[in-house]
Amino acid sequence: MTHREFIEIAGARLEYQLLQPQGSTGPTLVLLHEGLGSLELWKDFPTQLAEYCGSPVLIYSRQGYGRSSPVRLPRALDYLSVAGPDELGRVLDSLALGQVVLLGHSDGASIALAYAARRDPRVSGVVVLAPHVDVEQASVEGVRRTVNAYARGDLRERLRAYHGENLDGAFRGWSETWLHPAFAKWNLHQALPCIQVPLLAIQGRDDEFATPAQLQTIACEVGGNCQTVLLDDCRHFPQNQARDRVLTLVAGFMAKLPR
């Protein structure tokens, strides 16, 4: 079982884990999970990341996920660009972290980008895996396929082990947001030019929830130095499906940041 601790933030109890390998230095990597993710669903990636980069790593489950407090539904349609970043800022404050590098996957990548646009001086850089900066038809179709799998019961039972009593709230909070007709207008186009710190954006060429247009938009609109990488033979989970390549890319990115 994953060792976890809890912090109280704005009336919510969030589970977290802070990995500090012996001799680790530099900014703390803060991991932001995807729309159906949690602390435990990162599995062994955080441990490998900490060892590979020689950096501390913080993982937490957002409210409504994992063993964190439940969240009231429906979620606001601007959750990825407002409530999620607000919560992240409170986590950084509560744990009194110094310099950090945000590493987000999918919905967590959107939160990382939105927070970086706020120009918190603690943020030294950003890494995003399978990011979303606007709503594509591929994303909506991917969510619909996932809803069908959940209704059949197989996905539901796999996720139950990670979310417990938060299971239905986590799934509905994600799927009902992405499938809401008004959510089609959500985007980060105004936020991207505000990001001035170094950025690494990674996506699988066969991502079933987005097209390479996401990387192209980031490269064109972000305000600071940006590297984009499109990985062959990889779908929506680069940290699992192309792990060695991702670890190498992130370690190289971290090594170039000012110390």
Output the pLDDT for position 154: 85
% of the chain beyond a pLDDT of 90: 94
Q: How far apart are CA 104 and CA 106, in angstroms?
A: 7
> Is the model's pLDDT at 1 over the cut of 60?
no
Tell me the pTM: 0.97
Q: Give the H/E segment covering residue 26.
A: none
At 70, which CATH number? 3.40.50.1820
- For the chain, the average pLDDT equals 96
Q: Give every strand in the sheet of 123-129, ordered side by side.
A: 5-9, 12-19, 57-60, 28-32, 100-105, 123-129, 199-204, 226-231
> Is the model's pLDDT at 158 over the cut of 50?
yes
Output the pLDDT for position 94: 97
> Is the model's pLDDT at 246 over the cut of 80?
yes
Output the pLDDT for position 2: 61
Domain with 252 in it? 5-256
Task: Provide the sign of the torsion angle of the four alpha carbons 63, 69, 70, 72, taken in this order.
Answer: negative
Instruction: Say how many domains are in the chain.
Output: 1
Output the pLDDT for position 187: 98
> Is the model's pLDDT at 163 over the cut of 80?
yes
Which two structure tokens, joined as six digits, stand for 26? 């530099």
Q: What is the mean pLDDT of residues 206-218?
A: 98
Condensed to tens digits (0 to 9), the pLDDT of residues 95-115 reads 999 999 999 999 999 999 999
> Is the model's pLDDT at 117 over the cut of 70?
yes
Condensed to tens digits (0 to 9), the pLDDT of residues 164-199 reads 999 999 999 999 999 999 999 999 999 999 999 999
Output the pLDDT for position 24: 84
Q: How far apart are CA 104 and CA 101, in angstroms?
A: 10
> Is the model's pLDDT at 80 over the cut of 80?
yes
% of the chain beyond a pLDDT of 70: 99
Beta strands, E only, 51-131: 57-60, 100-105, 123-129
